[in-house]
Amino acid sequence: MIKDPRFLHYNAAMFRQDLLAGITVGIVAIPLGMAFAIASGVKPEYGLYTTIIAGFLVALFGGSRFQIAGPTGAFIPILLAIVLQYGYEDLLIAGFLAGIFLIIMSFIGISNLIHFVPKSVTIGFTAGIAVIIFTGQLGNFFGLSGLQNKQFFHENMIDVAKNFHTVNLYSILTAGIGLILIFLLPKIAPRIPLLLVTLLVPTILSVLLYPGKVETIGSTFGGIPRSLPDFQLPQITMSKLLTLWQPALIIAALGAIESLLSAVVADGMKDGPKHNSKRELFGQGIANIVTPLFGGIPATGAIARTATNIRSGAASPVSGMIQSIFVLLFLLLLSPFASYIPLAAMAPILMFVAWNMSARKTFVHILSLRSGDSIVLLTTFLLTIFVNVTVAVQVGILLAALSFLKKMSGKLTITSQKTSTVEAHKFGDSVSKFIVEGPLFFGTAKVFEDHIPEILSTATKKVILDFQHVSVIDATGEAALSSLLDEITKQKRLLIIKKLPKEKISMFKKSGLYDRIGKENFFM
């Protein structure tokens, strides 16, 4: 720990800053941890376990100075789908496997590839998740009875409509008070811990004014135990591995994106050393391996809590550890009081989280472009809502790749140009010259091949291809050039390659194309 650069020159003044920041974030993390767990289809205490264990381990082993980890809204649809399809025990196994995947990602440098996920995809699935979280709280907001969590969005909406006649006015009053506080408190008392007050005030009023009229954590889940669960290894079998590796991989991928994005946001909010991406993924991996052993659900870096940590004056990762200790003390000393919290009081909190994570302005901006990115965004968004995040991300990235290839296909140009005096003197009069500009790869090879008849139509004995402005050549591009060489050779003409960069010449040598063209026909 002493050698960790994040703790260099640590002193008592910095500890006081971390202590205040850690307590502040802990106050925010308690209601969110329980709310995210309930929305994910598991008991509220599992969210607290995750906050305690994952938050401490990511702060200790991660690569960011200010990262706060725990359950997040982004995971809700994925975790709920796993719970509904496989059950809570298999969710723990999926989280454990996700931790292993994250550690593997940290060693193979996958953190660099995360940055290649298009914004249209990330905004699409994030907005879709926000819609699922928001609508998923309608039942608690209106106090509907007879609802059952279902795997698909439309099934849940139909269930809400069918049971809307069971609306509970006390639940609406409770949730309405919380919603009013969310809107008013930031304007009249911005320093007050918003989410905690939003949870406490409706809870106290419901206990004093209309006890027993609304569903609570106690009546629904039987209360929260005042201890951490026992250590227990997950029962992993080969059939479980074959079944759960894909959900685990999507948890790991989404967790990596969310964590690194949170770390980048933290870097931008405070001066000093930037985060270490590989170490951050390693820390997230350790946390997700250990947390399921104590009943916790998958965790990742939480942007809102990390930002709160920085705004509260955090000086080092110690603040994240203090946050975990604070939540642990709450669990051990005050968790019985959580039984009185109405589910309707948690609904506006989750709706508020969904509203903030929806990226509305960016969503509308990309949609207004009416481009390939707009199609990718809308497709990812709709698939996230009506199918699942796994399919949405896969299809979104595929569409983004196809859109990119379409754009790049127009970047390759081949134009005829008169030979210079020097070229005419060197190669003679019977020479035709073409300038090739742009990338020559599998996405543009067809464009190159379409120009072959034009190149061959010249009656000259020699053909010069100027490659000075070719940025990329891959195996498919090389094959297209080889096809041109075959046709030119059949006509007993000569192909001359001019200004091809050295690194591309070495590739031609490995493939044998260099020898086929002839060393004497390459000119730098």
Residue 4 maps to a domain? no
| Nearest residue to 140 (alpha-carbon basis) of 215, 71, 221 | 215
- In sequence order, what are the beta bridge partners of 437? 413, 469
3-state secondary structure of 418: coil
Residue 511 clears pLDDT 70, i.e. is over it: yes
Give the Å distances, CA to CA, from 404 to 120, 375, 436, 477, 519: 12, 12, 20, 17, 35
Mean pLDDT (the chain) is 90
Predicted confidence at residue 2, as pLDDT, reads 46
DSSP assignment string, 236-281: --HHHHHHHHHHHHHHHHHHHHHHHHHHHHHHHHS-SPPP-HHHHH
| Nearest residue to 379 (alpha-carbon basis) of 26, 96, 121, 76 | 121
Residue 5 maps to a domain? no
Domain coverage including residue 61: 12-397
Token couple for 24: 């502040």
Global confidence as pTM: 0.79
Same-domain status, 33 and 115:
yes
Predicted confidence at residue 374, as pLDDT, reads 93
Give the Å distances, CA to CA, from 440 to 46, 477, 479: 53, 5, 10
Predicted confidence at residue 203, as pLDDT, reads 95
Of residues 115 and 403, the one with the higher pLDDT is 403
Contact 349, 31 (CB under 8 A): yes
Give the Å distances, CA to CA, from 502 to 198, 328, 505, 522, 523: 65, 61, 5, 11, 11
Q: What phi, psi does 470 have (nearest 5°)?
A: -90, 120
Contact 121, 397 (CB under 8 A): yes
Residue 162 clears pLDDT 80, i.e. is over it: yes
Predicted confidence at residue 294, as pLDDT, reads 93
Residue 195 maps to a domain? yes
Lowest mean pLDDT among 94-98, 241-245, 320-324, 438-442: 438-442
Of residues 317 and 459, the one with the higher pLDDT is 317
Same-domain status, 98 and 219:
yes
pLDDT tens digits, residue range 477-503? 889 999 999 999 999 899 989 888 888
| Nearest residue to 82 (alpha-carbon basis) of 129, 151, 132, 133 | 151
Given 367, 397, 427, the domain boundary residue is 397
pLDDT tens digits, residue range 371-385? 889 999 999 999 999
Burial class of residue 264, CB neighbours in 10 A (0-12, 13-18, 19+):
middle
Residue 2 maps to a domain? no
What's the CATH code of the domain at 492? 3.30.750.24
Same-domain status, 364 and 291:
yes
Q: What phi, psi does 57 have (nearest 5°)?
A: -70, -40
Same-domain status, 284 and 423:
no
Given 366, 397, 428, the domain boundary residue is 397
| Nearest residue to 196 (alpha-carbon basis) of 23, 19, 15, 17 | 23
Q: Which helix (H) or strand (E) covers residue 141, if one does?
A: helix 138-142
Share of the chain above pLDDT 90, in %: 52
Token couple for 180: 């009013």
DSSP assignment string, 423-460: HHHHH-SSEEEEEEEEEESTTTHHHHHHTHHHHHTS--
The confidence band for 142, taking pLDDT boundaries of 50, 70 and 90, is: very high
Residue 115 clears pLDDT 80, i.e. is over it: no
Predicted confidence at residue 244, as pLDDT, reads 93
Same-domain status, 434 and 359:
no
Tokens 């006390």, residue located: 170
- Sorted by sequence, the CB contacts under 8 Å of residue 64 that are 6+ apart come out as 262, 263, 266, 267, 275, 276, 280, 301, 306, 317
Residue 1 clears pLDDT 50, i.e. is over it: no
Predicted confidence at residue 88, as pLDDT, reads 93
Predicted confidence at residue 132, as pLDDT, reads 92
Residue 105 maps to a domain? yes
Same-domain status, 370 and 420:
no
pLDDT tens digits, residue range 388-405? 887 888 899 899 888 887
Same-domain status, 357 and 504:
no
Give the Å distances, CA to CA, from 69 to 74, 96, 227, 299: 13, 16, 21, 6
Mean pLDDT along residues 265-290: 90
Buried b (16+ CB within 10 A) or exposed e, 442-478: ebbbebbeebbeebbebebebbbbbbeebeebeebbb
Lowest mean pLDDT among 6-20, 85-99, 342-356: 6-20
Mean pLDDT along residues 88-103: 95
Residue 443 maps to a domain? yes
Q: Please work out, in degrees rounded to the nearest 5, the angle formed at the alpha carbon of residue 290 by the alpha carbons of 267 and 136.
A: 70
Mean pLDDT along residues 418-424: 81
Of residues 93 and 269, the one with the higher pLDDT is 93
| Nearest residue to 302 (alpha-carbon basis) of 343, 356, 230 | 356
| Nearest residue to 129 (alpha-carbon basis) of 80, 183, 91 | 80
- In sequence order, what are the beta bridge partners of 463? 432, 495
Residue 51 clears pLDDT 80, i.e. is over it: yes
Same-domain status, 338 and 221:
yes
pLDDT tens digits, residue range 166-207? 999 999 999 999 999 999 999 998 888 888 899 999 999 999
Predicted confidence at residue 403, as pLDDT, reads 84
Contact 140, 171 (CB under 8 A): yes
Mean pLDDT along residues 22-39: 92
| Nearest residue to 55 (alpha-carbon basis) of 361, 398, 294, 358 | 294
Residue 405 maps to a domain? no
Given 369, 397, 425, the domain boundary residue is 397
* SS (HEC) of 322-385: HHHHHHHHHHHHCHHHHHHCEHHHHHHHHHHHHHHHCCHHHHHHHHHCCCHHHHHHHHHHHHHH
Residue 406 maps to a domain? no
The confidence band for 409, taking pLDDT boundaries of 50, 70 and 90, is: confident
Residue 271 clears pLDDT 90, i.e. is over it: no
Lowest mean pLDDT among 211-225, 360-374, 411-425: 411-425
Q: Give the Cα separation of 429 and 435 in Å (integer).
A: 18
Same-domain status, 379 and 473:
no
Same-domain status, 299 and 327:
yes
Q: What phi, psi does 304 have (nearest 5°)?
A: -65, -45
Token couple for 379: 């497709």
Token couple for 149: 């969590």
Q: What phi, psi does 196 have (nearest 5°)?
A: -65, -45
Predicted confidence at residue 180, as pLDDT, reads 96
3-state secondary structure of 470: strand
Predicted confidence at residue 18, as pLDDT, reads 93
Same-domain status, 422 and 382:
no
Same-domain status, 170 and 210:
yes
Q: What's the structural domain count of the chain?
A: 2
- Residue 222 is given by DSSP the state -
Of residues 3 and 39, the one with the higher pLDDT is 39
Mean pLDDT along residues 262-287: 89
